Amino acid sequence: MLDVLIKYKRNEHLKVVNQSSNITATYSLKNVSYNYGTTSALESLNLTLNPGKFYGIVGPNGCGKTTLLDLLVGNKEQATGSVHFKGLPLADYSKRQLARQVALVPQDFRIGFDYTVEELVLMGRHPYIPRFGSPSVEDMALVDAAMQTIGIDHFANRLVTELSGGEKQRVVVARALAQDTPVLLFDEATASLDVRYTLQIFNGVRKLVQEEGRTVVAVIHNLNLAAAYCDELIFMEKGTIYNTGAVAGVLTPGAIREVFGVEALVKFNEFSQAIQVAYRYGK
């Protein structure tokens, strides 16, 4: 389980950290813009993401959430402005260096080869395995721990091509955990999962933030899920940041009305012990 992951952690960043003002920001974006041809996708973004926090990116479809994650993971390069990771320009990192720092669970995952579940999760260890080398005992321990954490160890030898969409998504999450990085990016990683497995994954990820000081940035459409797990929310609208800050401060009826165009009631829920949103439905 997660205790096994902690036991076999590789890097200094996995130690529990005490947050203070002199810790270098995980990400710093200044005046960042990105275009798809002549269409503006992101415009003049200024954003600081600190270690040891769970960030939720929320906003309507097409507002630039996935594009922002692509910039953070290095899949895209900004048209203007700067993106710094741990104090250095993101472009200064090699692909292998960045893969040891940042893991991404994509929104859409397809694979046409008959890999087993264990083989696919093991791909998360590739940034650490020398070319033509073999996985170490530590690599396999992290793979086993990741599969146990996500609850897929009982079908480790099944072919990924035979799994359901939800099962495949859980495998991809396990691969990201096995990658053992200080930063985890989720692009609607639980959209195809039922409530049980969604909570299982977010409970595990939240524990990594609290106990190991990791940074998690997740695109989440479900505002109640975002409110329950995130430390801060980033509201996006039409390629810009509408507002960002602690959940209690930015998740308001006014923000939901302005960004999503719907009426909502926001209040603390005693049962879930979290701020939750209720919507006014049309009749």
Model pLDDT for residues 230-244, shown as the tens digit of each residue: 999 999 999 999 999
**pLDDT, mean of residues 240-264:** 96
pLDDT for 11: 44
Q: Say whether pLDDT at 103 is over 70.
A: yes
Q: By C-alpha distance, which of 32, 29, 30 is closest to 79?
A: 32
**pLDDT, mean of residues 179-207:** 93
- 267 burial level (CB within 10 Å; 0-12, 13-18, 19+): exposed
Q: Say whether pLDDT at 21 is over 50.
A: no
Q: How confident is the model at residue 16 (pLDDT cuts 50, 70, 90)?
A: very low
Of 1-15, 38-52, 98-112, give the lowest mean pLDDT range. 1-15
Question: Under CATH, to which class is 2-18+53-74+94-252 assigned?
Answer: alpha beta
pTM of the model: 0.89
Per residue in 34-83, pLDDT (tens digit) is 999 989 999 999 999 999 999 999 999 999 999 999 999 999 999 999 99
**pLDDT, mean of residues 269-276:** 95
Of 21-25, 216-220, 221-225, give the lowest mean pLDDT range. 21-25
**pLDDT, mean of residues 3-17:** 43
Q: What is the mean pLDDT of the chain?
A: 90
pLDDT for 24: 86
Per residue in 22-43, pLDDT (tens digit) is 568 999 999 999 999 989 999 9
The pairing of strands 80-85 and 27-36 is: antiparallel
**pLDDT, mean of residues 176-195:** 94
Q: Say whether pLDDT at 10 is over 50.
A: no
pLDDT for 131: 86
How far apart, in Å, are the Cα atoms of 62 and each of 94, 99, 101, 243?
Answer: 30, 27, 27, 17
**pLDDT, mean of residues 244-263:** 96
pLDDT for 113: 83
Q: How confident is the model at residue 1 (pLDDT cuts 50, 70, 90)?
A: very low
The answer to whether the Cα torsion of 220, 13, 102, 166 is positive or negative is negative
